[in-house]
Structure 1
Amino acid sequence: MTDAPAALLPAALKAAEIASELVRTRVPGLLTAKGDRDMASEVDYAVERAVRDYLKERTPDIAVLGEEEGISGDATGELLWAVDPVDGTANFVRNIPLCGISIGLIARGRPIVGVIDLPFLGARYHAAQHIGAHLGDRRIRASMTTDLKDAIVAIGDYAVGEGAEAENRRRIALTEHLAANVQRVRMLGTVAIDLAWVAEGKLDASITLSNKPWDMAAGIVIAREAGANVIDQDGTDHTFNSSATIAAAPALTRDLAALLHDANQRFTAD
């Protein structure tokens, strides 16, 4: 494993540039069903293949895991690229500009490099372990909010597919608890934006009741390098075995974990 994660950041930045151009200049095209109310567009596949090809050329010894087409390369290595070609496809196909490209590099289960590009908002976030988080050339820092009643908190999308009804009862319980305790609740439809905006301090926290590497890897390292805490729902440090992803201003972390615990208790009781 490289001793300098930042050495691989330029490859991720260039890959994001290639991806962003494709997203901005192509129409979504035909949609492929991935299950109940879930789909991928032609652009999702085109972006993933372009990013995969570029990363294979630049870093041939590192495997690539993409949301749409799985893993390629030697999966036994210490490093793994994790790519979400269009995070927020439902927004993208409806011409809602809240979508993002997420490219993360994982070392032994921990994200060490991340780039999130928001093609329709003209913003590109990046971070590498130990060098901080940036929006373009500007260093960014997470919120310093200390009280939940002053916090704006994003939550992940409601579930679709098998088991969605039960999963959404838990999400509704969480939404109810948040609505009673925080300043505002937001659902933006893309965890890439949720985590990038936590890093930038636009959001005070985000809670996603899922944990997939292509969704989370880039945003987690960007949020952490910006000073946010990233934890599982039980308050322990977030790993890729975690069942949920909470990124928050440090002073809010404990209260949000307790609130999520209460919501889970309510869901179980119901």
Structure 2
Amino acid sequence: MKALLDVALGAADVARGLMVSRGPGVVTAKGDRDMASEVDYAVERAVREFLRERTPEIAVLGEEEGGSADAELLWAVDPVDGTANFVRGIPLCGFSLGLVRRGRPVVGVVDLPFLGTRYHAAEGLGAFEGGRPVRASATKDVRDAVVSIGDYSVDEGAEARNRVRLELTGRLAANVQRIRMVGSAAIDLAWVADGKLDACVILSNNPWDTAAGVAIAREAGAAVRDLDGSEHTTGSAATLAFAPGVRPELTALIGDVREGLA
């Protein structure tokens, strides 16, 4: 794990250099209100080459250029997580690289170049921001909790999916201290690991978006689950991360919303 974490940290150096030295460039539409910048493609290609040289035996799955999601061991790469923020100069965006073993994220690096922070973790080795160990928050009362919710859906079938998101947002607003929408799944999960957020609710689960953050959150003591409460894997329907003290009540609240809309 330590050797593979070192590879992931080296890949993050490559990505950071490209993100801070280049503007977004031409932005390409990928679907209804979804996009990729020139930097997304440049970072993914550079990172793929870096990983191919150092770990040729490990498959790569990237947001922009695809790959097999079924390999027993694979790197999951999001070259710029939070592209909509990146292209508008909003600093809530970064590079996400996770190593997935049989569906379980075991190594993660989330680099946030415009915030000057980098989170990393490997299974059994702890979670860190730079050289500082991080832990999920000690919050126990849901009314003291700050909870992030992932972006609303914008693609085909968005209206039906957003009914759940809107209902959930309303229920959270009535029960927690504050709701946040950061616009980056990697940041959501890293900030749960660091205790900045007490929970995050991401009602999707693309491995490139979530693998790195899931590995970091778990190593920081957060519980990471699917919508049905089962242990999170890359095959899960959603990505929910909780500080241990708020998990039972938030899990019940989310369950009530799902049941009501079933």
TM range (shorter): over 0.9
| Structure 1: distance between partners of 2:228 and 2:138 | 22
For residue 36 of structure 1, the aligned residue among 32, 38, 48 is 32
User: Cα–Cα, structure 1 residues 32 and 127, in superposed 2: closer, same or farther, change >3 Å?
Assistant: same
1:64 and 2:83 correspond: no
1:13 and 2:3 correspond: no
Q: CA deviation at 1:256?
A: 1.4
Q: State the secondary structure of the residue aligned to 2:67.
A: strand
Describe how 1:23-172 pairs up with structure 2 within 5 A.
23-71=19-67, 77-172=71-166
Q: CA deviation at 1:20?
A: 0.8
- CA deviation map 1:53-78 (0-9, x unaligned): 00000111111100000017xx7753
Q: CA deviation at 1:6?
A: 1.8
| Structure 2: distance between partners of 1:29 and 1:13 | 25
For residue 194 of structure 2, the aligned residue among 190, 194, 200 is 200
| Structure 1: distance between partners of 2:154 and 2:70 | 32
User: Cα–Cα, structure 1 residues 40 and 76, in superposed 2: closer, same or farther, change >3 Å?
Assistant: closer
Q: Which residue of 2 aligns with 1:22?
A: 18
Give, as a single letter, the amino acid of the residue that structure 2 aligns with 1:51.
V
Q: CA deviation at 1:255?
A: 1.4
Which segment drifts farther, 21-30 or 257-266? Answer: 257-266
Give, as a single letter, the amino acid of the residue that structure 2 aligns with 1:195.
L
- Residues 6 and 129, structure 1, Cα contact 8 Å, conserved in 2: no
1:214 and 2:208 correspond: yes
| Structure 2: distance between partners of 1:85 and 1:206 | 21
Q: Which residue of 2 aligns with 1:227?
A: 221
Give, as a single letter, the amino acid of the residue that structure 2 aligns with 1:213.
P
- Residues 173 and 266, structure 1, Cα contact 8 Å, conserved in 2: no
Q: Which residue of 2 aligns with 1:244?
A: 238
Q: Which residue of 1 aligns with 2:252?
A: 258
| Structure 2: distance between partners of 1:265 and 1:9 | 40
Give, as a single letter, the amino acid of the residue that structure 2 aligns with 1:20.
R
Identical columns (%) = 66
Q: CA deviation at 1:237?
A: 1.1
Count how many residue pairs are aligned between Structure 1 and Structure 2: 262
Q: CA deviation at 1:147?
A: 1.1
- CA deviation map 1:101-159 (0-9, x unaligned): 10000111111110000010000100000010000011111101111100000000000
Aligned alpha-carbon RMSD (Å): 1.1
- CA deviation map 1:195-218 (0-9, x unaligned): 000000000000000011101110
Give, as a single letter, the amino acid of the residue that structure 2 aligns with 1:66.
G
Q: State the secondary structure of the residue aligned to 2:151.
A: coil
TM-score (norm 2): 0.97
Give, as a single letter, the amino acid of the residue that structure 1 aligns with 2:137.
S
| Structure 2: distance between partners of 1:35 and 1:267 | 27
Q: State the secondary structure of the residue aligned to 1:71.
A: coil
Contiguous gaps of at least 5 residues in structure 1? none
| Structure 1: distance between partners of 2:250 and 2:228 | 10
Q: CA deviation at 1:266?
A: 3.3
| Structure 1: distance between partners of 2:165 and 2:84 | 19
TM-score (norm 1): 0.95
Which consecutive segments of 4 or more residues in structure 1 shift more than 6 A?
A: none
Q: State the secondary structure of the residue aligned to 1:70.
A: coil
